[in-house]
Amino acid sequence: MPEKVNYYVGEQSLRFPREVYITASASVVGKKEGEGPLGKCFDMVCGDDKFGEDNWEQAESTLQKEALALAMGKGKLKPEDIRYLFAGDLLGQNIATSFGLMDYEIPLFGLYGACSTAGESLSLAAMCVGAGYAKTVAALTSSHFASAEKQFRFPLEYANQRPISATWTVTGSGAFILSGKRSRIRITGITTGKIVDMGVKDSMNMGAAMAPAAANLIAQNLEDFKRKPEDYDKIITGDLGYVGQEILIDLLKKKKIDISSVHEDCGILIYDKEKQGTGSGGSGCGCSAVTLSAHYLPMLERGAIKRILFVPTGALLSTVSFNEGQSVPGIAHGVVIEQEGERES
Amino acid sequence: MMDYINAFWVGGLICALTQILMDKTKMLPGRIMVLLVCSGAVLGAVGVYEPLMEYAGAGASVPLLGFGNTLWKGVKEAVEQEGFLGIFMGGFKASAVGISAALVFGYLASLVFEPKMKS
């Protein structure tokens, strides 16, 4: 049983009374992601971006459904073994999540943190297991290029030209099973981000809008846990892209923190910029989730890396706020994930 | 033959200038369209567009500039006939064929084709 100690760490971070493990995860992506540098790592690459459905929104729902099914299969779990779902997507009123996960009949917390939802859902799921409210929960997020274009930019039927600097929304869904049951990968802490608004008004340049939030979060995490950047093998942001990465590293250098040797960005990793014509890189709450599941978790499991800070970043805009001339505030959520060494239990 | 060549280079020039505008500025497509329609109306009003259309035919009438010119022409004619009320009538009357055609053919196209992913 947890003893009476304080689990707050610094101003914005937590560790948990009970150990929290990621016991299984799964990633499902579309065709373009399958052709990218990480293509071979994903559990499932679907050649049909509609996933056999009638429209893009249903396709995204199917993405989530499949990702959760695969993750449950890997963890040898049935829906009734999962106490809570923490899930979200980018569409209005979270419809991809609602319609995709409805049939599982698992109690659901629907979340919205824009592209940071992968971190938000993992944080809350870890808190839930860490506090002992559940033995096993699942966290998942999705995004789909075509439904996101319709939601935030222009529907594909309109055949709008995309500026080269625009990010490319990842078609994909990542699902994670969190449990108190021991595995090789453990979540040891979280840092929850604040909304940071630097007044960026360009909706095509999300990296610049989110980088200050990521910088704040990373600095806070290092301060709270009294760590240096080198204490992490990697500090991984969600979808800052090339422009955002530069801004992030510069912002932290001003605070005398140099993360340039350990920083990686899922949006940069997931596509081949030259061959795939993806401009600033990938984005969307599927981007960081599938990259974590397919790329980083296996590295942790192998022991190639020991400790990472996973920082999905989100741009909190809607088409309404944007059209009303509001700026694009950013948010970021940090999750510390470590390899659990061999140990007698 | 010259008609085709003239239509091609004038229409192409308008499109090329608009493409530069899209690439070099941060204006969203909607604004660029409005800008084109307004410019067409202004060019029509100062009497530049009509001669251009005689010279280039569809090269000048098909792009959005031509739509702006049509609006201007419609308003002008209606004002001559109906007076003040013509300001509100002419534009719609003159552009009715173009707008209806866009709606009807757009609808027909949507019955036949499905939107696809960009690659």
* Domain regions of chain B by residue span: 2-112
Q: Which residues of B touch A (CB under 8 A)?
A: 22-23, 26, 29, 110, 115-119
Whole-angstrom CA distances from B43 to A232, A255, B33, B79, B99 are: 63, 55, 15, 18, 21
Tell me the C-alpha distance between A294 and A74, whole Å. 13
Residues 6 or more apart in contact with residue A324 via CB below 8 angstroms: none
From A32, A155, A204, residue closest to B119, measured CB to CB: A32
- Residue extents of the structural domains in chain A: 8-179, 185-339
Is the ipTM reported for this complex over the cut 0.90? no
CB contacts of B118 in chain A (<8 Å) are 145, 156, 162
What is the spatial distance between Cα A83 and Cα B41, in angstroms, rounded to a whole number? Answer: 64
Give the gap in angstroms from C-alpha A163 to the nearest C-alpha of chain B. 7
Residues in chain B: 119
User: Residue B82 has which token pair?
Assistant: 């109906």
Q: Are A191 and A220 in contact (CB under 8 A)?
A: yes
Segments of chain B scoring below 70 in pLDDT: 119
Cβ atoms within 10 Å of A121's Cβ, excluding its own: 33
C-alpha triplet B23, B26, B27: angle, nearest 5°: 100
Number of helices (H), then strands (E), belonging to chain B: the values are 6, 0
- The answer to whether B85 and A132 have CB atoms below 8 angstroms apart is no
**Closest Cβ–Cβ partner in B22, B110, B116 for A161:** B22
For residue B68, the distance in angstroms to the closest alpha carbon of chain A comes to 21
How do A172-179 and A168-169 pair as beta strands? unpaired
A30 with B117: Cβ contact below 8 A: yes
- The tokens describing A336, both together, are 């510390």
Query: Do A8-179 and A185-339 come out as alike in CATH topology?
Result: yes
CB contact under 8 A, A157 and B110: yes
Of residues A57, A219, A228, the one with CA closest to residue A144 = A57
Q: A169 to chain B: which residues are within 8 Å by CB?
A: none
CB pair distance less than 8 Å for B29 and A202: no
Q: Please, which residues bridge with residue A263 across strands?
A: A235
* Tens-binned pLDDT, residue by residue, of chain A (345 aa): 555 678 999 999 999 999 999 999 999 999 999 999 999 999 999 999 999 999 999 999 999 999 999 999 999 999 999 999 999 999 999 999 999 999 999 999 999 999 999 999 999 999 999 999 999 999 999 999 999 999 988 888 777 777 766 789 999 999 999 999 999 999 999 999 999 999 888 777 788 899 999 999 999 999 999 999 999 999 999 999 998 999 999 999 999 999 999 999 999 999 998 889 887 899 999 999 999 999 999 999 999 999 999 999 999 999 899 889 999 999 999 999 999 976 544
C-alpha B77/C-alpha A169 separation (Å) is 49
* Dihedral, A208, A210, A212, A216 alpha carbons, nearest 10: -160
User: Are A11 and A217 contacting, i.e. CB atoms less than 8 angstroms apart?
Assistant: no
Q: How is domain A185-339 classified at the CATH fold level?
A: Peroxisomal Thiolase; Chain A, domain 1 (3.40.47)
CATH number of A8-179: 3.40.47.40
Q: Do A292 and A310 contact (CB within 8 A), yes or no?
A: yes
- Which among A148, A84, A93, A91 is positioned nearest to A121, based on CA atoms? A84
**Yes or no, beta carbons of B117 and A145 under 8 Å apart:** yes
A9 phi/psi in degrees, rounded to 5: -120, 115
3-state secondary structure chain A: CCCCCCCEECCCEECCCCCEEEEEEEEEECHHHHCCCCHHHCCEECCCCCCCCCCHHHHHHHHHHHHHHHHHHHCCCCHHHCCEEEEECCCHHHHHHHHHHHHHCCCEEEECECECHHHHHHHHHHHHHHCCCCCEEEEEEEECHHHHHHHHCCCHHHCCCCCCCCCEECCEEEEEEEECCCCCEEEEEEECCCCECCCCCCCCCHHHHHHHHHHHHHHHHHHHCCCCHHHCCEEEECCCHHHHHHHHHHHHHHCCCCCCCCEEEHHHHHCCHHHHCCCCCEECHHHHHHHHHHHHHHHHHHCCCCEEEEECEEECCCHHHHHCCCCCCEEECEEEEEECCCCCC
Judge whether A284 and A315 are in contact, CB under 8 Å: no
> Does A202 contact chain B (CB < 8 Å)?
yes
The Cα of A109 is separated from the nearest Cα of chain B by a number of Å equal to 30
**Residue A279: predicted pLDDT:** 77
Structure tokens at A234: 């990697």
Give contacts of B119 with chain A, Cβ < 8 Å.
Answer: 31-32
Q: How far apart are the first and last CA of chain A?
A: 15
